[in-house]
Structure 1
Amino acid sequence: MTAASVLTGSGVGRGAVVGPVARAHPAPPTPTEAAGPDSEAGRAEAVERVAQAYRDVADALTARAEQAAGTTMGEVLEATAAMASDPELVGEAKTRVMQGQEPTFAVDHATKEYIDLFTAAGGYLAERVTDLRSVRDRVISRLAGLPEPGVPALAEPSVVVAQDLAPADTAALDLDKVLAIIIEQGGPTGHTAIIAGQLGIPCIVRVGGAADLADGQVVAVDAAAGTVTIDPDDDVRARAQARGDALQRLADDTSDGATADGHPVQLLANIGTAEDAERLTDAAVEGVGLFRTEVLFLGRTTAPTREEQADTYERALRALGGRKVVVRTLDAGADKPLAFVTRSDEENPALGVRGYRLVRTAPELMADQLHALAEASRRTGVEPWVMAPMIADVDEATEFARLAREAGLAKVGVMIEVPAAALRARDVFSAVDFVSLGTNDLAQYTMAADRLLGGLVDLLDPWQPAVLELVAAVSWAGGEAEKPAGVCGESASDPLMALVLTGLGITSLSMSPAAVPGVRFALSKHTREQCEAIAGAARGGRTAAASRAAALELCDPEVREVLALG
C-alpha cells in the first residue's frame, strides 16, 4: 500500500467501515450571464420565478425539518428554511432582477452580499455560511432546471463523500444506508460532524484529496485514526470489520460507569430537546449531564413563555424516569445570538454579555426559566439539577444560587468555563452544590483562541497542559468540599481523556450517547489507582502531544487496540 492510497483528516467517532463511495451532486455552475430580460413584463415574470423558487426551497426544507422534528437536525433545518424565506434576502434578489440582472446571477450575487456580512460578523453567523450557500445552490438549481445539490438516493450501503454538506443535505440521507461520511471541507464543530457524532456514524472532515474519490470506488474509513484508505486490501478490511464487531459488543454492555475496582463514574448524555431525552428512555446512560436549553430560544423573535418551557422540561424529566437530569440555563450570546436580547454593538461578544451575564440586561429570562423548571419539577416529582453557564466568580455563583433556590430548586450548580472561576473553584464550591466543567470554552479562554477557527485547533486541544492544570484544580476543590465535579465538554467523550479525568477526581462524564460505550469500556479496564497514574503522567507533559503520549503509554493494551487510540 502506497502513501498516496491513504487520505487523512480529522475524525469524529471511533468507528471503522468499508464501502463504496457515493458522491453528492455538485453545486450548480456559478452564473456568469448578468443580463436579464429587457422588458418590464419579462422582468416581472422573472421576479415571480425567483420568488417561487425560494418558496419551493423553503417548503422542501420545512418538510424535512418536520420529519426531523425535535432533534438538533430539525432545529437546524428550521433555521435554514427561515433563511430561504428571509424577506431581505429574497427582496435583494428580486430587486436585482427588476434592475435587469439574469435571475440565477441575481440570486448568486444577492447571496454573496449576505455571505460577506455573515463572514465578517464571525461566530454563529459565520457558521451559517454553509447554510446560506445551500439555499443559494438549491434556488439556482431550480431556476436552471438542474438536479438539486446533495446526495442522491443510495442504492446500497455507502460512504457519502462531499465537498461539504449542509444540514439540509444531511437530513435527506437514508441513514440506514450511510456507512460513513467524508467531507473535504467542514470542521469537527460543524453541523455535519455534530450530527454524525450524535448518530454514531463514522465521519472524517477536512480530508485533502476527497474531491478525487469517484462514485463506486471502495474505501475504508477509520474515524479514530482520521484516515481514508483507497482500495483497501484484505488486512485493512479485516481490521475494519473487527473494530465494528468490537464496538457493537461494547454497545451491548448496559452497566453503570465504573473503574475495574468498582469506583463509580457517572456516564451521562448531552441533549438539546425533550425529544432527545425521550430517545434515551431505554439507553444505557445514567441520566443527562447537559440539557442545552438554548435550543428552545434560538431562531425565535420572542422568548418562549414560562408555560412553553415548563412543558418541555416536564417531558424531559418524565422521559428519564427519575434518572439525573442536569439543566443548563440559557447560554446565549457570542456564537449563539438571540434576536430579542443579544446586543449588536459588542466588539468582542465572546467576552461580552453572554450566558449567565444576560441577567444584567434581561433578568426576566432567568426568572422565567428557573420558575418554569421548578414547575416541571412539581408536576413530575423529579428533582432536576440546574446550573448556570459562564460564571466568573463567587459573587455570580452566590447570586445564581439564591435565584434558583428562591424559585424552588434545590440542586444548584454552575459551569466552570472561565479560568478565573477554575482558579478560585474553592470559593465557588462554597456557594453551590456541584460544578460542571465545559472544557470547550475553558480551552478557548485559557488559550485565547476562538474555538470556531479551525486554524487554531492545535491550541484548543483539551490535552493542553494548562487546561489540564485548571481541570485538576477544580477536581481538587470538589474533593475537598466533598461535592461533585463533572465534565460535559468534548473531552468527556475521549476514552483516553476519560481515564485522565477520572484520575483527577472528576465524578461524572457527559457526552453524545454514541460515545458512552467506548468510555465505559476504557474505565472498566483500569483501576482508580491506574487512572490516577495516567492523570499524573498526562500532567507531566510539556505539550499537548506529550501529555497524550504519556497517558497512552500507561493505557491498557486491549483498550488501545479495540478503541484504536494510537
Structure 2
Amino acid sequence: MTLLNGIGVCPGIAVGPLVRMPDPVPEPSAGPGQVTDKNAERSRISPAMEAVAAELRARAEKAKAETRAVLEATSYMAVDPGMMDLAITGVVERNLSAARAVFEAANTFRDMLAAAGGYIGARVADIEDVRDRIVAAVLGVPMPGIPDPGHPFILVARDLAPADTATVDPEKVLGFVTTEGGPTSHTAILARTLGVPAVVATEGALSLKEGTTVVLDGGAGTLNAAPTDAEVQDAEKRMAARRGAKKTWSGEGATSDGRRILLLANVGDPKSAKAGADAGAEGVGLFRTEFLFLDSAKEPTVAEQEEAYAGVFAAFPDGRKVVVRTLDAGADKPLAFLDQGEEPNPALGVRGVRVAFEDSGILDRQLQAISRAAERSSSDVWVMAPMIALASEAEWFSGKVREHGLKTPGVMVEVPAAALNAEQILGVTEFASIGTNDLAQYTLAADRMAGPLAALNDPWQPALLKLIGFTGEAGEKRGKTVGVCGEAASDPVLAVVLVGLGVTSLSMSSRALADVGELLRTVSYDDCKRLAQVALDAGEAQAAKAAVRAELPQLDELGL
C-alpha cells in the first residue's frame, strides 16, 4: 500500500525525504557481579540524573508554554529521590552496574505508572525517555534526540518524547509521523504547539525506506509513501498556500455570512496567555489552573493564586472573555497535600469538582482568589467546573461561584450524562464548554492514553459528534453559549462541523487559531449545518472526516 492511514493531529501538508528517529540507547547488560568498586559505581548515578534534569530544565526555559510545562514535569522525574535510591540499592546490594541499576529502577517506576492508568499512566513514555537519557549520561554516550541529516525532512518514529519534540526546528523538521500515540498524547499536543503537520497511530510507517520522498497530510491523516511527480507538485503548492493563509486572517472568528464564532486560546499560565493574545485569540476558552497545584507540596495560598490568575487576566483586558476551569485534579492527577487514598479505577473516581464535594475548602479558596484577581482586571471572567454529571451538581457549583461575587458560572461537558442532560444543566448555569478529550474516552470506553485504542478516541467519531450536537441544541433552546475547548477545536475542518452542531465558541492551541479562522470565513452557517449532518451520517471517524473534506475544495487553496 502506498497510502498509509493514521490520525491527523495537526493539519498541514509536508513533502520531503523520510528520516527515521535513531534507535534508542541499548539496554545495559543485566548480568550481576560486574562491579569491582561499588562506591565509584554508585557515585556515577546522582551526577547523571542531575545532568539530565538540568538539560531538560534548560530546554524548558526556551520552549513554548505547553512544551515548557511538560519538560519541567519531566525534569522532576529525572531526579526523583525514590528512583535514585532504588538505583543505588541495585549497585550496593545486587552488584549491578550504574547503567543497569538506573535502567531497572526506572522500569520499576514505569510499571507502577502504567498500572495506575489515566493521567499518571500517560507518563510511561516520559519516564522511558528519562531512563534512556540517564543511562546515556552514565555511559558517556550521546543522548537520544532529533537527527540532523543536514536538510529538511519528515521524521518517522515509534513515538516522540517531550524532550524530543521540544527540539523540533520547523525549518528542518517539515512534519512527523508516528506509529503509536493518539489524539491527546504528548506528541499530538506538542505538534499543535509547534504547528508542525503530524499524523499518529500510522501502522506501517516504520517499514518505509529512509530517504523515500513522502507526502504527509496532517489534515486528512495520511502518509503517501509513493507520490507521483504531480502529487509532489500539488503538495508543494498546498504548503505555499498554507504559509500565505496564516498572513491574511483578520483575527475575528466568523462564518462567511457573518455568524460570529469566538476563537479563543487554551492557556495554562500567564506566559501562554500572552502567547495566545499575540496570536490573535479573542479571549481564553480554557484556563487550566492545575499548574499551581500539581507540583506543589502544599496548597497554594489565596494570595499566590490571585497573583497567578491576575497575570493571565492581564493578557485579555477590556472585557475580553477568560474562562477559568477550577482545579481538575484528584485520583489520576493526585495532589501531594490531599490524601484521597487509592481508587480501583481512577478515571472513574473522585476527580475534578468531585474533590470539592468532599472538601469544599479548596474550591472556596480558589474561587476567592479568582474573584480577587477579577476585581483587579477588566477581563470578563467566567468560571467552570470539570467533571459535572448532574444538574444538581451544576446548581451546587453555580451557587458557590455566585457566593464569591462571580457572575458567570458554567460547566465542562466531559461525560455522556452531562451531554444528555445538557438542557437541565444549562437551566442552572450560564454556559457549557465541551472537553472532547474526556468525552471521547468515556463515550467510546477507551482510555485516551492507550495507543491501541487511538482510533476510538478520534474526535471525528460520529457518536461523539452526536453528543456534541445534543449539547449545542440544548444551548440554543436555553439561549446559552456552548463552546468546545478540547483538542477537537484545533482541527479546522472539524471546527466547521462543530459550528454546525451548535457550538458558539472554539478554544484551541494558539498555533491553530489562524487555520481555523481562515477556513471558517469561507463557509456559511448553512454550510456548517449541512456538513455536520454529513459527518453524523457517516459510520466511523475516518469516513466522516473524508466525507466532509470532500465537500470543501478550498482546503487545497488554504493548504489544509
When the two structures are superposed, what TM-score results if normalisation uses the length of structure 1?
0.91
Give the structure 2 partner of residue 192 of structure 1: 187
3-state secondary structure, aligned to 1:112: helix
Which AA in structure 2 matches 1:48?
Answer: S
3-state secondary structure, aligned to 2:507: strand
* Contact 1:333–1:350 (8 Å) recurs in 2: no
Residues 452-477 of structure 1: CA deviation (Å, up to 9, x unaligned): 22333343343444333322222222
Q: Identify which of 492, 498, 502 aligns with 1:501.
A: 498
After TM superposition, give the deviation of residue 140 of structure 1 in Å: 1.5
Which AA in structure 2 matches 1:481?
Answer: R
After TM superposition, give the deviation of residue 44 of structure 1 in Å: 0.8
Give the structure 1 partner of residue 261 of structure 2: 265
Give the structure 1 partner of residue 325 of structure 2: 328
3-state secondary structure, aligned to 2:527: helix
After TM superposition, give the deviation of residue 333 of structure 1 in Å: 3.0
Rounded to whole Å, the distance in 1 between the matches of 2:223 and 2:16 is 11
Equivalenced residue count is: 557
Q: Could you say if the C-alpha distance between residues 56 and 521 of structure 1 is closer, same or farther in structure 2, counting changes exceeding 3 Å?
A: closer
Residue 91 (1) aligns with residue 85 (2) = yes
Rounded to whole Å, the distance in 2 between the matches of 1:45 and 1:538 is 63
* Contact 1:537–1:551 (8 Å) recurs in 2: yes
Residue 78 (1) aligns with residue 77 (2) = no
Q: Could you say if the C-alpha distance between residues 329 and 38 of structure 1 is closer, same or farther in structure 2, counting changes exceeding 3 Å?
A: closer
Rounded to whole Å, the distance in 1 between the matches of 2:239 and 2:373 is 41
After TM superposition, give the deviation of residue 354 of structure 1 in Å: 0.6
Give the structure 2 partner of residue 301 of structure 1: 297
Q: Could you say if the C-alpha distance between residues 543 and 48 of structure 1 is closer, same or farther in structure 2, counting changes exceeding 3 Å?
A: closer
* Contact 2:183–2:458 (8 Å) recurs in 1: no
1:355-370 equivalences in 2 (<5 Å): 355-370=352-367
Q: Could you say if the C-alpha distance between residues 499 and 51 of structure 1 is closer, same or farther in structure 2, counting changes exceeding 3 Å?
A: closer
Residue 388 (1) aligns with residue 385 (2) = yes
Rounded to whole Å, the distance in 2 between the matches of 1:22 and 1:467 is 35
Residues 233-292 of structure 1: CA deviation (Å, up to 9, x unaligned): 432322222212222232121241222211111111212221111112332222111111
* Contact 1:10–1:207 (8 Å) recurs in 2: yes
* Contact 1:333–1:342 (8 Å) recurs in 2: no
Give the structure 1 partner of residue 215 of structure 2: 220
Q: Could you say if the C-alpha distance between residues 154 and 275 of structure 1 is closer, same or farther in structure 2, counting changes exceeding 3 Å?
A: farther
After TM superposition, give the deviation of residue 530 of structure 1 in Å: 2.7
1:426-437 equivalences in 2 (<5 Å): 426-437=423-434
1:168-247 equivalences in 2 (<5 Å): 168-212=163-207, 218-230=213-225, 232-247=227-242
Of 150-159 and 126-135, deviating more is 150-159
3-state secondary structure, aligned to 2:278: coil
Residues 5-27 of structure 1: CA deviation (Å, up to 9, x unaligned): x5443322221122344544432
Q: Give 5+ residue unaligned stretches, structure 1.
A: none
Rounded to whole Å, the distance in 1 between the matches of 2:213 and 2:553 is 30
After TM superposition, give the deviation of residue 496 of structure 1 in Å: 3.2
Give the structure 1 partner of residue 512 of structure 2: 515
Q: Could you say if the C-alpha distance between residues 168 and 383 of structure 1 is closer, same or farther in structure 2, counting changes exceeding 3 Å?
A: same
Q: Identify which of 397, 407, 422 aligns with 1:410.
A: 407
Rounded to whole Å, the distance in 1 between the matches of 2:545 and 2:500 is 14
Rounded to whole Å, the distance in 2 between the matches of 1:455 and 1:9 is 12
Residues 19-71 of structure 1: CA deviation (Å, up to 9, x unaligned): 344544432211225234555xx111111012221222222222222333x72
Give the structure 2 partner of residue 280 of structure 1: 276
The root-mean-square deviation of aligned C-alpha atoms, in Å, is: 2.5
Q: Could you say if the C-alpha distance between residues 66 and 543 of structure 1 is closer, same or farther in structure 2, counting changes exceeding 3 Å?
A: closer
Which AA in structure 2 matches 1:117?
Answer: M
3-state secondary structure, aligned to 1:485: strand
Which AA in structure 2 matches 1:45?
Answer: A
Q: Identify which of 64, 67, 72 aligns with 2:62.
A: 67
Residue 108 (1) aligns with residue 95 (2) = no
After TM superposition, give the deviation of residue 300 of structure 1 in Å: 2.5
Where relative contact order (Cα < 8 A, 6+ residues apart) is larger, the structure is 2
Rounded to whole Å, the distance in 2 between the matches of 1:341 and 1:38 is 42
Rounded to whole Å, the distance in 2 between the matches of 1:462 and 1:420 is 18
Rounded to whole Å, the distance in 2 between the matches of 1:540 and 1:212 is 35
1:33-72 equivalences in 2 (<5 Å): 33-36=30-33, 39=36, 42-68=37-63, 71-72=65-66
Rounded to whole Å, the distance in 2 between the matches of 1:494 and 1:97 is 50
Which AA in structure 1 matches 2:425?
Answer: V
Rounded to whole Å, the distance in 1 between the matches of 2:7 and 2:462 is 21
Q: Could you say if the C-alpha distance between residues 160 and 465 of structure 1 is closer, same or farther in structure 2, counting changes exceeding 3 Å?
A: closer
Task: List structure 1 segments (4+ residues) > 6 angstroms apart after TM superposition.
Answer: none
Residue 117 (1) aligns with residue 112 (2) = yes
3-state secondary structure, aligned to 1:472: helix
Rounded to whole Å, the distance in 1 between the matches of 2:218 and 2:34 is 51
1:329-344 equivalences in 2 (<5 Å): 329-341=326-338, 343-344=340-341
Rounded to whole Å, the distance in 2 between the matches of 1:382 and 1:255 is 18
1:137-148 equivalences in 2 (<5 Å): 137-148=132-143
Rounded to whole Å, the distance in 1 between the matches of 2:102 and 2:442 is 39
Of 429-438 and 216-225, deviating more is 216-225
Which AA in structure 2 matches 1:313?
Answer: Y
Rounded to whole Å, the distance in 2 between the matches of 1:29 and 1:460 is 33
Rounded to whole Å, the distance in 1 between the matches of 2:331 and 2:171 is 36
Rounded to whole Å, the distance in 2 between the matches of 1:562 and 1:342 is 54
After TM superposition, give the deviation of residue 159 of structure 1 in Å: 2.8
3-state secondary structure, aligned to 2:236: helix
* Contact 2:356–2:362 (8 Å) recurs in 1: yes
After TM superposition, give the deviation of residue 448 of structure 1 in Å: 2.6
When the two structures are superposed, what TM-score results if normalisation uses the length of structure 2?
0.92
3-state secondary structure, aligned to 2:96: coil
Rounded to whole Å, the distance in 2 between the matches of 1:460 and 1:161 is 22
* Contact 2:117–2:346 (8 Å) recurs in 1: no
Residues 172-192 of structure 1: CA deviation (Å, up to 9, x unaligned): 344443322233333332212
Rounded to whole Å, the distance in 2 between the matches of 1:82 and 1:372 is 28
Residue 32 (1) aligns with residue 26 (2) = no
Residue 150 (1) aligns with residue 170 (2) = no
Residues 123-153 of structure 1: CA deviation (Å, up to 9, x unaligned): 1222111121112111221222211111245
Q: Give 5+ residue unaligned stretches, structure 2.
A: none
Percent identical: 45
Residue 19 (1) aligns with residue 13 (2) = no
Give the structure 1 partner of residue 346 of structure 2: 349
